[in-house]
Amino acid sequence: MNGARHAVVLGAGVAGLLAALVLADHFARVTVFERDGFDVEGMRKGVPQARHLHGLLDGGRTVIEELLPGFTDEMTARGATRAEALVATRWYVGGLRAAPAATGLTSLIATRPLLESLLRERISRLSQVRLVAGTARGLIGDRHGVRAVSVSGDSGVETHATDLVVDATGRGTRAPVWLTALGAEPPAEQRLEVDLGYSSRFYRRLEGQLDGHASVIISTGASGRGGGAVRVEDDRWHVTLAGILGDHPPTDPDGFTRFAASLAAPDILDLITRSEPVGDAVPHRFRAPVRRAYRRRAAVPHGFLLLGDALCSFNPLYAQGMAVAAQQAAALRACLRSGGPTPDLPARFYAAADKALDVAWQLSAGADLAHPGVVGPRTVRTRLTNAYVARVHRAAHVDPHVSRTFLRVANLVEPPTALLHPAMAGRVLLRGGTRAAAPNIRPTGPGPLRASGPSPDPRPSIPSDR
Ligand SMILES: Cc1cc2nc3c(=O)[nH]c(=O)nc-3n(C[C@H](O)[C@H](O)[C@H](O)COP(=O)(O)OP(=O)(O)OC[C@H]3O[C@@H](n4cnc5c(N)ncnc54)[C@H](O)[C@@H]3O)c2cc1C
């Protein structure tokens, strides 16, 4: 691909925008096609998940900060909440609150549209980058590689010659169909059926709520139910309830409240019953994390690569998607810097991106498989790891060193092996053996804060992934 001039990015989500930023240093022209166009502010059709809580792990924030210096300050200036992760957040794991500790992690809490609008604005300033409304329809080339892309827009369907296509169209990517049509091999797919349901609603924030904490996260424990409430711009709480394996939170007010009351800690219920709602609750159904990978380097077509959710979409419960998309953009930049935009760039990129993907996938798939109802391969290693992680959770309730390290691993800042360091393992084995205290669980019987009677589950047209 020597003398490369033009790169095309399909999709202007977090992954596509960060890819365009990185490509701009190595291509004379970068065109980003986005189905929703670029005139939309706030929530938009192409990313229905934006209506649900979007936490940015610090392992992603630091990468974005490196790619776009000043990102954290600009987000804060626009209303994002910036907080120390485990001091300003109440984090419940295994039914009890993790011991507060200084983690060195920065939580940057905002809605997804705020984050995306800042990325779009910064990237639109690059002279090499053009942001164009258009829907990708297919690839042009042969089984060895891609030479052009066909895009429909205001002036009908057009063909755009390109040296590289980056598919960042999200988890609904049509790449497997497009590649098959060229006679090229699509990547193999790995799925883990979790049938996760989200229900989310905004609330007006009152002074002093949550004792001034910026957020509360109640991890899905053995019940498979969890939730979060985070303080976002315009003095609002963004509240998301979640349930796996078909146990989805309702969107009607009574059902929403009742589901919140069933969580392992009362914080979210207290918050929503004392705050004024802003708009209705909205649902989302997410069936399965999907990871795509080529088993043979020789099978990777030239001139085309998948990035972001199109390459790997994670269970949203672990908030990894945007951070791993940022890490993939950084991996792409490293490949471009070390070897340039050569024909084997896609194969080199997959090898580099796999390092980030492996860690995140291991953490999230391992946590999914800790639920007996999730069907998937449980090796002896998976079982041993999950038994150890259960001990880590219990130790984290009482030992700030453990809660600190666990949160740093979950934020993709330290490798999972940090939890196996002899000093850490000693704490985990010593403190994680038995429950340190009675679970902080609100009684599940009828009470003043619980709605009564069954309620319909109004999920007529739930935004859902493919
Ligand atoms: C319910 C839910 C909650 C989540 N919560 C979190 C969280 O807390 N933290 C986190 O980090 N991640 C979270 N994620 C994941 C996160 O949304 C993604 O990982 C992240 O947005 C990166 O995705 P992406 O840019 O690859 O794809 P997307 O964000 O899906 O963007 C794809 C873009 O491509 C466009 N597009 C699609 N098809 C075409 C086409 N044919 N032509 C042109 N454009 C096209 C779409 O309009 C869209 O703009 C969540 C996901 C879900 C489903």
pLDDT digits (tens, 9 = 90+) for 330-373: 999 999 999 999 999 999 999 999 999 999 999 999 999 999 99
284 lines ligand 1 (CB under 6 A): yes
d(Cα 212, Cα 223) in Å, to the nearest integer? Answer: 28
pLDDT at 170 exceeding the cut of 70: yes
| Distances from the Cα of 442 to the Cα of 269, 307, 446, angstroms | 10, 42, 11
pLDDT in tens, 140-167: 999 999 999 999 998 899 999 999 999 9
196 lines ligand 1 (CB under 6 A): no
* Ranges of H-type helices in 316-463: 321-339, 345-369, 380-398, 400-410, 422-431
H or E, element range at 252? none
Q: What's the gap in Å between 88 CA and the centre of ligand 1?
A: 27
pLDDT at 41: 82
CB burial of 438-458 (b: ≥16 within 10 Å; e: otherwise) equals eeebbeeeeeebbbeeeeeee
Q: Is residue 463 very low, low, confident or very high in pLDDT (cuts 50, 70, 90)?
A: low
Average pLDDT, rounded, for the chain: 91
Residues in Cβ contact with 121 at an 8 Å cutoff, skipping those fewer than 6 apart:
none
Q: What's the gap in Å between 49 CA and the centre of ligand 1?
A: 7
Q: Say yes or no: domain 196-286 is CATH 3.30.70.20.
A: no
pLDDT at 276 exceeding the cut of 80: yes
Q: Is 226 helix (H, G, I), strand (E, B) or coil?
A: strand
Is the separation of the CB atoms in 52 and 198 below 8 Å?
yes
pLDDT in tens, 118-137: 999 999 999 999 999 999 99
pLDDT at 465: 55
13 lines ligand 1 (CB under 6 A): yes
Domain limits, the chain:
6-54+111-191+289-364, 196-286, 380-431
Our mutation pick for probing the ligand 1 site, out of 284, 309, 312, 332, counting the most ligand atoms within 8 A of Cβ, is 309
User: Residue 242's closest CA among 265, 222, 219?
Assistant: 219
Q: Whose CA is nearest to atom 2 of ligand 1?
A: 49
pLDDT at 235 exceeding the cut of 80: yes
Q: How is domain 6-54+111-191+289-364 classified at the CATH fold level?
A: FAD/NAD(P)-binding domain (3.50.50)
